[in-house]
Structure formats: structure tokens, C-alpha cells
A and B are shown apart, each in its own frame.
Chain A
Amino acid sequence: MKLTRRNFIAAVIGGVAGIQATPLPWKLTDDVAIWTQNWPWVPVPPTGEFAEVSSVCNLCPGGCGIAVKKVDERAIKIEGRTDYPVNPGGICPVGMGGLQLLYDESLRFTGPMKRAGLRGAGQFTEISWGEAFDIVAGRISTLRKKGMPEAIAAVDGNPEGTTVSALIKRLMRAMGSPNYVRPPSITDTYRMGNLLMQGTLSPMAYDLENSDYVLSFGAGLLEGWGAPGRVMNAWGMWHDGNPSKRKTRIVQVESRASNTASKADMWVAPRPGTDGALALGLAHVIIKSGQYDARFVAEHSSGFDDWRSLEGTTHTGFKRLVLEKYSPEQVAKITGVNPKTIVSLAKGFASAKAPVAVYGKGKDSLNGSLYEFMAVQSLNALVGSINRSGGVLLPDPIPLSNLPILKVDAIASEGLKKPRLDQAGTMRYPFTDSLINNFTDAINNSPKSPVDTLLVFSANPFFTLPDGGGFKNALEKIPFIVSFSPYRDETANMADLILPDCTYLEKINDTVWPTGLQYPLYGLSKPVVEPLYNTRNTGDVVIELSRAIGESVGAGFPWENFEEALQARAKGLFDAGGGLVSYDSDAPAWQRKTAGKGPKPGYKSFDEMWEEMQSGGMWYRPVSSPKSWKGLFNTPSGKFEFSSKLIAQAIEDYSNKISKKAALKNMSLAAIDDEACMAHYEAPKAGADSSAYPLRMLPYEMMNLASGWIPSPPFLYKTIFENQLLKDKSFAAVNPKTAAKYNLKEGELVAVKSPVGELQVRINLFEGAMPGIVYLPLGFGHTAYDEFLKGKGVNPNNIVQAGQDPISGYPVWWNTPVKLVKV
């Protein structure tokens, strides 16, 4: 047949029509669909027996109860426990994604390892545990023989008070090194403030659930402060569907429209670092209007009114200081907050039935400022919210047994006499336990590292310290680094030897008193699955290591294993009596019971109690009636001290040793005499010329991103918005007005430069950012781990230029001068 135009068109049309009539295209589509659904690499999760194991989450010091669902030996889901007092049912997103930290093999060390490549490259070769112990013990023994045990140092990120932390401290003492340092946390600030004002050693106990007015100075209640499961549960209770039924007012004091600030009933935005001044402004209004609790002030406090000392000098009291220096107008100048707002806030706070002022700085994983804390705590005292339901409670310390007294040998006792590298506890920092920033400086400022061997436990200081990359430089100088991390984090990648811990789902461990909780609670987590790899619980490893070192060091650790050490401490919980080991969600632990009422413990012997604790994972004492005032405050005056006698004494002692001027300078104090003993505001010293660096950088934290030593489960990156992280660039939140000044548009690439470094980020125009401040999220910018976390965004810690907080010496990480430069 000849191909004509007519034939051609007929053939095409005929063909198209014909194909519609045949089943061919449909069959092919169907086949393709079926084919793609039978790809052999699509996983088919094996089924099996379903079970649930109760445990306690250890990813942060909050210690929420978790129920892990299992199919045979595999853990398949983590859920919150409803039979645990801290978090009735809910947990945070990090805890929810915890299984990825267990099962993502490329995040983890699968056994003891020796460094194979350059430091930081993350190349390791596997060795045996025996070999690993030989290397560390050999090195330590050599140092001890040379008479320099102080060249061994430890960074311990386990929460204060936990058994593993107690063992690490003990190991350091037994070896003879005073150089045990911890990354700073808000609990350090609480501890110091409570010691100075109340003379108490218990953790901070905010009775949030019973309060009707929560005034939070910077605490990121919805950003992960305290035990997130507890705080968010309270948040749900506070926000009844019917606003007229809401009993509790929440006010957030913070410079950025964070989730807490936005979701609170009211948001007050002072300039960063001026929260203390604002608190004193409220105190001024409350004192002036006579709304303060005159009875508490008269009977249980000291330093409120002016007083005359034995020598006859008149001292300024808190009242005069506040009335003279912190009127709403004066405070408005410092903080930028409208004087009217200060007055109405003060009235609201003072007229509430059970107000509480909470102090914090974002999550609890970074330190605060001592005087800011004192200002906030003074506010609590002023309205009588100390030792009152709904305010700040003063429970007894948790009754854990002390470990037996440690006998140290001659080498160790010589070593322990050597000064600490970080100068904590010296006359310069009299109330501080540990100053890791000073520790870093001591290494960086000497030609040869004074630390020969560094042991790193549950910490990633390379990434988490706000020190402008100082710790990273220090690591490069330290001859030998041992990491006990289960994860391939930045610090571990710098290590020469890895003795990997199990992850929190593979081991027994304890949590002691979640941050901010108002009653004592001891949590016990248990292995949910058998260790997947050749890793060992660091608690056991510390004990084994002490034996490998031998001599008196080994003798200091009489326990067979870690569990025995845990039991030895928990013995005290039994001896104290009255603690509960199970929880009924109908009787929340924060609900006050009348004495003698409420649930009773069912166990009769320690073994019985321990058995129940192992299955239930808890020991706690519900909130009881307020304590008797007698002997409550263990301060020099025996009362709550608006004006701390300990500070006065410390300044005097130091001034007598060197000159007064030098003492104040070393303690970073601008205030003198009586003012220095009380809450007051001091403008932090400018770290750089403000014309060269006109803006300030403030790192901020998010609930849905781990910013501490734990890696973020990859699932969390689903929750990050595209104006927080896009491909490999994270964003700086900047007010549109500030951005307009530098002609910056949304998404534009800029360099944030501080005197110590620069970071490249994109701009996010955010109305909720305070003008003049550049907000950078913490938790991005990992250079370690796997493709899920590595190389995503930048770490603001790398450009932080931190001054020292007066008296405490902790880093002032919220005041870095920066400028923005277009790229």
C-alpha cells in the first residue's frame, strides 16, 4: 500500500483508537505498579511476640518515664509512660526518636577502638576491651609513677549526683587528680544561688503545678527547660479549653518571640542579659506599694532593711537598694521595657495567690548568671513564695547513701594538693565547683598542655561549649584523649582511644532529681534490649578501669559491678523510709497530701524495694506540707538572705589577701560593698568596640533539636522549618528593621562576624526578633556523626565571645558583639 497523507492519518488515528480498545496500556501500568511493589529491597519487618518494657529516659537530666514497645528482640517504638510521676504520658521529640540513636549504626561506636587516621577524621580500628584497658591503665600508672597524677583530667557530662558521675569523681580522686570538670548547666547557677541566699543544698524545686502565676525569667518552659514531659504536661493543664476556667497565668520574660513567649498569656521583652534588672524593677513596685509579704520579710529574711554592724557601720539593705536604683523609669532605661508594663506586671505578680518566679536561660544545658538568679529569687522571697505551696519549695536532699570513705595513697594525696587548672573554689571563684572555660584557657595559654590524658564522659565539649572554639584548640594540644562516648561525636573523633558506653536503652543507669522538680525523685533505667554491639556500661568500665590501674585505686572500688554500686547508694533510700516505688496517675505526685494520708510504700526489705524499683524504675516522695521554718535556712543568719553574708565574707577575705580593687576586678565585679552582696544589675563589659560590632548575637535553643552532647535523632530534622535550615545552611533570625538597615532580604546569605570568628548563614526576617540582635539556633553545625546530621548549618558556639559572670565566673554566653556582612 502506498503511503499517502490520507493513509497515514488513518493509521495514526486507527492506532490510537485501537490501543484504547486493547488491555495493553492498562495491563502494562498495572504490571509496572506491581513490579515496583515487589522490589526485594523494600523491607518487610519481621513480626513476632509483642511486648512492652518500662524504663526511664536518660537523654537529658529530665528523666521522663518511657515505655518501649518490642517485637521479639527488636525495639520498635518509644512512648511516654502514664505510670511515672514526672511525665504522665508525654515525652519530648528527642526522646520519641530515641530508637534511631540505638539502631543507626553509623552514629555509634561498635566496640573499643584506637585512632587510625588524623585527629578529627573519625577513622578508628577496632581493638579488644583487654587491650583498651591496658592502654589507659598503663598510661595512668605511668603518670602516677612519675608523680604527676594531676596531669590526668576528666570532663564529665553526666548529670550531677548520678551514680556514674559519683564513680568518675571518685576515680579521679583515687588516682590523685583535682582536675575534674563539668560542662556548665543552669543547675550550677541554682545550686550557687540557693547556697548563698538559703544555705540549702537541695536542687531547685519549683512547685509549678500548684502555682497560679508563673513568671518565667528566660526559662524556656516550652524549649526543653527542666523535665520537658513534666512542663509540657503542666502546660496542657494550665490551658483549659475554656479560657474562663484557666487558673494559672503564664508570663514569659525573654527577648525573642520563642514558643514559650508566644504561647504565654503575656510576653515581656527586655534586652538580653537585663532580666535581673527587670526583676528588681518589679521588686521596687512591690515594695513601694507595700504589697510584699511583710511577715515573711520580718520573720524569715535578713538584709531587707538597712542594718548596723557590730562595729557601728550602717549597711544598705535590699529595700533601699531597690528603691533608690530600680524605679520603673530607671529599669526601663536598662531593659527597654515600658514602665507601665513593669508596674502592671508587679501588681499582677504580687496579687496572685501562689505566684512563682522561675529563673532560667533557655533549656537547662547552659549556665545562667548568679545575680540574675538572686534578683529573681529575691522576688519570690518578697511575695513570700519561699516554702509555700505553688512557690519555691525547700525539700530535703535526696537520701542516697554516701559511698564509703575513699583512702588515697601518697601519690594521690600529693596530686590532690595541686591547684585545679580551672581555679574553681579558689578565693577568686569561691562558690564555684567547676569552670570548664578556665580549664580550656589554662591549656591554651601554656606552651605545653598541663593535661596529659583527658577522659571524656557523656560530654561533647567540642560542640556544646560556648567558648568560640576554645575547647577544640585545647583538644589539639592534649597528648592523649580517651572518650567513653557511645556516639561518634566531635570530641570522640578527636580521641585516641574509644571505650564506648552502651546507649541509654542498653544499660542500667540512674537519674537523680530531674531539674526543677518540686519533690525528690530517683529514676532507674534498665536495659530495654541487650547491647547490640561490643560496648559496655561506663559505670562498669570505671570500676574495671580502677582494677586495671590497681593498687589503692582499685581498692577504692569494692563493687563487683555498676549495679552493686547503684544498690549501695540506693540503700539510703530504703533507710530513709517512706519513699514510693509505684505511681498511680490518679494521685499526682505534686498534689499536696495531708500528713499521714496518701499512698504508702508496700515493700518491707531493701531487696524488695530494689526489685520493685527495677521493674517500676522509680523512687519518689510526693510533695508534703510546707516545712517547719525552724532550721530551714542554713545561712550565717539562719534566715533567707537578701544580702548574702557569704559573699561579703568572700570579698573581704580576698581583699585582705590582695588589694580590694584587684579582688573586685578578678571577681569581675563592678559593684562594691553592700551592693555586691545583693541582687543587682551590672552591665556586662563590652567585649569589643561597638562601632565595629554594632549588633549582638544570642544563641537560642529549640525543643525539637538536641543541642547537648546527644545527637539529634534524624526524625527531628522533619520538624525543622525551611526558614531554620535549608540544605546545608541554617538561618539567623533578625528583625526586619535591623535587616533593612543592612539591606538584607529573606534568605540572603550573610556572614555573622564576631571578634573571635565568623559563620555563614541565611537571613530569616522574623518580627519576633528584638531589633539589634542576631538569633542563631543551637544544635546545628555538626562536623561529626553521619549524613543525617553532618554539615547542616552552623554552630553559634564557635563565635561566642564569653566574658565572666561576676562571682561565679561562668561564661556570659549571651552577649557576643557581632556584625553582619553580605556574602
Chain B
Amino acid sequence: MKKGNDHGKHKYGMVIDIDKCTGCGTCMVACAAENNVSVRADQSDKERTITWMRLYKISNGKEFPHTEVSYFPRPCMHCDHHPPCVSVCVATATKLDFNTGIVSQIYTRCIGCRYCQAACPYGARYFNWWDAFPQDKGMDRYLTPEVSPRMRGVVEKCTFCHHRLMRAKTLAYAEDRRELEEGEYVTACTEACPAQAITFGDLNNPEHEVSKLIKHPFTFRLLERIGTEPKVYYHSSRDWVRKLGDNFLPGEYTPVVNKTWAEEEWSTKPGRDEF
């Protein structure tokens, strides 16, 4: 038996630039279309509607006219250190693949106990309360054969478009290559973002853009302090956005830089110019 997390060659992850993110929701729609995610008549009940990628709207809470809104696009974080969903799964239906860093979900093993859903700190898991597709409307005609549609009674979540990794690998093998180039495997949301806010790549490969971006002082993760080591990073030049990435007690958060150009010049705190 293998001991601990020895990590294979690859550790896929993404950096989402909140400054670039326009809150348009294309990532959500692209994800749903790519992964045969079900649609229902009432999608306003956010505990029932399935959104592997979901936008959370945040606000700086200041009074008019100093209010600002922003968005956290939230896929599965693909936690790298003891993913809470994996350790609770009684059916071994979800596991962390040490060779890719992807937290998988195997629908045919899932017994629908929803333990993982309760364990996930990010609310990234969804339960199929109903059959996926409205019958007799012809909507099953746009389903892709690359992703199996889920049945009632199982939990599903973002897979980092695992089928795209399979596709990219098959292509590479056909060309007699064993390794993928940067950009050969990206998720549907990465590809779809019209503002190029999402960067996807191998965090273990120092040449990849993502592994450079995560070193930036503006880069942070959601609920970083619970120690699950998410592989989804966020990047924002706005301090109030970064502050909302975790539940800080008063005075606990150290600002990096806090001004926009209209108010004052950029801060010259160390770190900014090194990048």
C-alpha cells in the first residue's frame, strides 16, 4: 500500500482573475453545456439546481456611490490535502487522483447518501433529486456522448472536465507523445471565458502560467486556513475582494494593497513590482 500523498507528475489547477472576470456567467453555461448538466423549470432554488460552476456575487458593502460588486466563480476546488468529500465517502465513489490532482466522482458507485455534500466546505457538490432531462422536448439531442448523464439519486460535481484530459491524451498518444503541452488540456470554463479570466494548467510545471500566477501577492484561495489546499486560486487587485476569501476576525487580515488609481496611486508594498 502506498504511503501518504506522494503526488505524481501533474497537479492540474486554475487561477481565476477576479479583475478580469466580468460576472457574465458564460463559464456557468459553458460548463452546463459541456457536462450534460440537467436543467429544471425552477432554477431559482439554489439548493436544488445543479451548477458545477457557480458564480457567487459579493459586494464591498459600502454606501452608494462607493458600492462595488464582484463575483467568485466557484468550480470544485479539487482540494489537494485530504479532500473532505473523499474521506467521508462510504462507497469510495470519490477520490483524489494523485497523478492529476483531480478529485473524481464515480456516479455508478455513488449510493446517494450525500455525506460528501455535507462535508464539502465550498458547496461544490450537488444531488440529483430528479431525473435529469425533461422528456419529450427533444432536449436530449444536444447531449454529448463524452460525459455520461447522471441518474436520479447520485451526487455530482465539477470534474475539471476530465473527459477533456482523456481526449487530449488520446490525441497526444496518437501523435506518439507521452506529455501534454500547456493549453492542450483546459476545462470548458477556461476556454469559454470571454475575458480570459481563467488560466488552467499544471501547478507542478514551473513553466506553466498557473504556477507563476500563484506566486503573485494578489493571489489567494477560498477558506485557505482550513488546510484543504484547494487547487483553484483567485487573483484580485482589490483588497476587499481578497478579504472575502476567508472568514477573518477583525484585525486578522493584512492588506496587500488597497487603492484604485482613481483614489490614489498604487501602493508600493513589496511584492508588487517583483512580479
A residues 711-754 near B (Cβ < 8 Å) are 713-722, 725-727, 735
Tell me if A262 and B44 are in contact (CB < 8 A). Answer: no
Chain B residues within an 8 Å CB radius of A104: 137-139
Tell me if B194 and A719 are in contact (CB < 8 A). Answer: no
Tell me if A96 and B154 are in contact (CB < 8 A). Answer: no
Distance to closest chain A CB from B72 (angstroms): 13
Tell me if A715 and B137 are in contact (CB < 8 A). Answer: no
Tell me if B29 and A715 are in contact (CB < 8 A). Answer: yes
Chain A residues within an 8 Å CB radius of B62: 767
Asked, given contacts A71-B144, A720-B43, whether A36 binds B17 with beta carbons under 8 Å apart, the answer is no
Is A611 interfacial (CB 8 A cutoff)?
no
Chain A residues within an 8 Å CB radius of B22: 222, 232, 235, 259, 263, 703
Chain A residues within an 8 Å CB radius of B207: none
Distance to closest chain A CB from B5 (angstroms): 28
Distance to closest chain B CB from A630 (angstroms): 39
Is B249 interfacial (CB 8 A cutoff)?
no
Asked, given contacts A236-B196, A767-B67, A771-B64, whether A100 binds B26 with beta carbons under 8 Å apart, the answer is no
Is A542 interfacial (CB 8 A cutoff)?
no
0/1 string, B120-161, CB within 8 A of A gives 1: 000000000001110101111111110011111110000000
Closest B residue to A791 by beta carbon equals: B41
Tell me if A39 and B194 are in contact (CB < 8 A). Answer: no
Chain B residues within an 8 Å CB radius of A766: 67
Tell me if A100 and B142 are in contact (CB < 8 A). Answer: yes
Chain A contact patch, size range: 35 or more
Tell me if A269 and B65 are in contact (CB < 8 A). Answer: yes
Closest B residue to A735 by beta carbon equals: B64
A residues 99-125 near B (Cβ < 8 Å) are 99-100, 102-106
Tell me if B194 and A36 are in contact (CB < 8 A). Answer: no
Is A443 interfacial (CB 8 A cutoff)?
no
A residues 762-780 near B (Cβ < 8 Å) are 766-771
Tell me if A265 and B262 are in contact (CB < 8 A). Answer: yes
CB-contact partner of A719 in B20, B55, B193, under 8 A:
B55
CA of A268 to CA of B145, assembled, Å: 49
Closest B residue to A47 by beta carbon equals: B145
Tell me if A243 and B36 are in contact (CB < 8 A). Answer: no
Tell me if A89 and B32 are in contact (CB < 8 A). Answer: no
Is B39 interfacial (CB 8 A cutoff)?
yes
Chain A residues within an 8 Å CB radius of B197: 236
Asked, given contacts A76-B144, A241-B216, whether A718 binds B19 with beta carbons under 8 Å apart, the answer is no
Distance to closest chain A CB from B275 (angstroms): 6
Is B235 interfacial (CB 8 A cutoff)?
yes
Tell me if B139 and A232 are in contact (CB < 8 A). Answer: no
Is A12 interfacial (CB 8 A cutoff)?
no
Asked, given contacts A266-B260, A787-B41, A788-B41, whether A92 binds B26 with beta carbons under 8 Å apart, the answer is yes
Chain B residues within an 8 Å CB radius of A103: 138-139, 141-142
B residues 225-262 near A (Cβ < 8 Å) are 235, 237, 260-262
Is B98 interfacial (CB 8 A cutoff)?
no
Asked, given contacts A42-B151, A704-B25, whether A722 binds B46 with beta carbons under 8 Å apart, the answer is yes
CA of A769 to CA of B30, assembled, Å: 30
Chain B residues within an 8 Å CB radius of A310: none
Tell me if B139 and A704 are in contact (CB < 8 A). Answer: no
Interface-lining segment among B6-14, B75-83, B103-111, B172-180: B103-111
Is B70 interfacial (CB 8 A cutoff)?
yes
Chain A residues within an 8 Å CB radius of B63: 767
Tell me if A77 and B194 are in contact (CB < 8 A). Answer: no
CA of A786 to CA of B136, assembled, Å: 13
Tell me if A257 and B139 are in contact (CB < 8 A). Answer: no
Tell me if B25 and A43 are in contact (CB < 8 A). Answer: no
Is B166 interfacial (CB 8 A cutoff)?
no
CA of A71 to CA of B194, assembled, Å: 25
Closest B residue to A82 by beta carbon equals: B191
CA of A782 to CA of B151, assembled, Å: 31
A96, A102, A718, A768: which has the most chain B beta carbons within 10 Å?
A: A718
Chain A residues within an 8 Å CB radius of B107: 37
Tell me if A767 and B24 are in contact (CB < 8 A). Answer: no
Tell me if B25 and A235 are in contact (CB < 8 A). Answer: no
Tell me if B41 and A767 are in contact (CB < 8 A). Answer: no
Chain A residues within an 8 Å CB radius of B51: 718
Is A569 interfacial (CB 8 A cutoff)?
no
A74, A251, A714, A715: which has the most chain B beta carbons within 10 Å?
A: A715
Is A23 interfacial (CB 8 A cutoff)?
no
Is A571 interfacial (CB 8 A cutoff)?
no
Tell me if B24 and A727 are in contact (CB < 8 A). Answer: no
Q: How many A-B residue pairs have CB under 8 A?
A: 257
Tell me if A90 and B193 are in contact (CB < 8 A). Answer: yes
Tell me if A715 and B33 are in contact (CB < 8 A). Answer: yes
CA of A770 to CA of B66, assembled, Å: 11
Is A398 interfacial (CB 8 A cutoff)?
no
Tell me if B194 and A243 are in contact (CB < 8 A). Answer: no
Is A87 interfacial (CB 8 A cutoff)?
yes
B25, B46, B68, B133: which has the most chain A beta carbons within 10 Å?
A: B25
CA of A691 to CA of B212, assembled, Å: 60
Tell me if B64 and A222 are in contact (CB < 8 A). Answer: no
0/1 string, A311-344, CB within 8 A of B gives 1: 0000000000000000000000000000000000
CA of A75 to CA of B194, assembled, Å: 21
Asked, given contacts A89-B194, A236-B195, A788-B39, whether A262 binds B67 with beta carbons under 8 Å apart, the answer is yes
Is A16 interfacial (CB 8 A cutoff)?
no
0/1 string, A45-61, CB within 8 A of B gives 1: 11110000000000000
CA of A169 to CA of B247, assembled, Å: 61
Tell me if B262 and A233 are in contact (CB < 8 A). Answer: no
A34, A43, A79, A735: which has the most chain B beta carbons within 10 Å?
A: A43
Asked, given contacts A236-B197, A241-B216, whether A105 binds B29 with beta carbons under 8 Å apart, the answer is no
Chain A residues within an 8 Å CB radius of B25: 93, 703-704, 716, 718-719
Closest A residue to B265 by beta carbon equals: A244
Tell me if A29 and B111 are in contact (CB < 8 A). Answer: yes
Is B264 interfacial (CB 8 A cutoff)?
no
Tell me if A229 and B140 are in contact (CB < 8 A). Answer: no
Asked, given contacts A105-B137, A788-B39, whether A768 binds B59 with beta carbons under 8 Å apart, the answer is yes
Chain B residues within an 8 Å CB radius of A722: 44-46
Is B102 interfacial (CB 8 A cutoff)?
no
CA of A75 to CA of B138, assembled, Å: 13
CA of A720 to CA of B39, assembled, Å: 13
CA of A48 to CA of B153, assembled, Å: 29
Tell me if B111 and A222 are in contact (CB < 8 A). Answer: no
Asked, given contacts A33-B110, A42-B149, A770-B64, whether A233 binds B70 with beta carbons under 8 Å apart, the answer is no
Is B213 interfacial (CB 8 A cutoff)?
yes
Is B28 interfacial (CB 8 A cutoff)?
yes
Chain A residues within an 8 Å CB radius of B69: 257, 259, 262, 768
Tell me if B64 and A767 are in contact (CB < 8 A). Answer: yes
Distance to closest chain B CB from A99 (angstroms): 4
Tell me if A767 and B23 are in contact (CB < 8 A). Answer: no
Closest A residue to B259 by beta carbon equals: A243
Is B100 interfacial (CB 8 A cutoff)?
no
Is A242 interfacial (CB 8 A cutoff)?
yes
Chain B residues within an 8 Å CB radius of A36: 112, 151-154
Asked, given contacts A99-B33, A244-B266, whether A265 binds B260 with beta carbons under 8 Å apart, the answer is yes
CA of A422 to CA of B40, assembled, Å: 43
0/1 string, A209-239, CB within 8 A of B gives 1: 0000000000000100000110011011001
Q: What are 6 sample pairs from A and B whose C-beta atoms fall under 8 A apart? A: A33-B153, A71-B145, A222-B23, A235-B22, A262-B67, A718-B51
* 7 smallest beta-carbon distances between A and B, as pairs: A90-B194, A719-B25, A768-B67, A232-B194, A236-B195, A47-B145, A266-B262
Given contacts A103-B141, A767-B62, A769-B64, 13 further A-B pairs with CB under 8 A are A33-B112, A37-B107, A37-B108, A41-B135, A89-B196, A228-B194, A232-B194, A239-B19, A262-B70, A715-B29, A717-B43, A719-B28, A722-B45
Please list the residues of chain B having a beta carbon within 8 angstroms of any beta carbon in chain A: 17, 19-26, 28-30, 32-34, 36, 39, 41-46, 49-51, 54-55, 57, 59, 61-65, 67-70, 91, 107-112, 131-133, 135, 137-145, 148-154, 191-197, 213, 216, 218, 235, 237, 260-262, 266, 272-273, 275
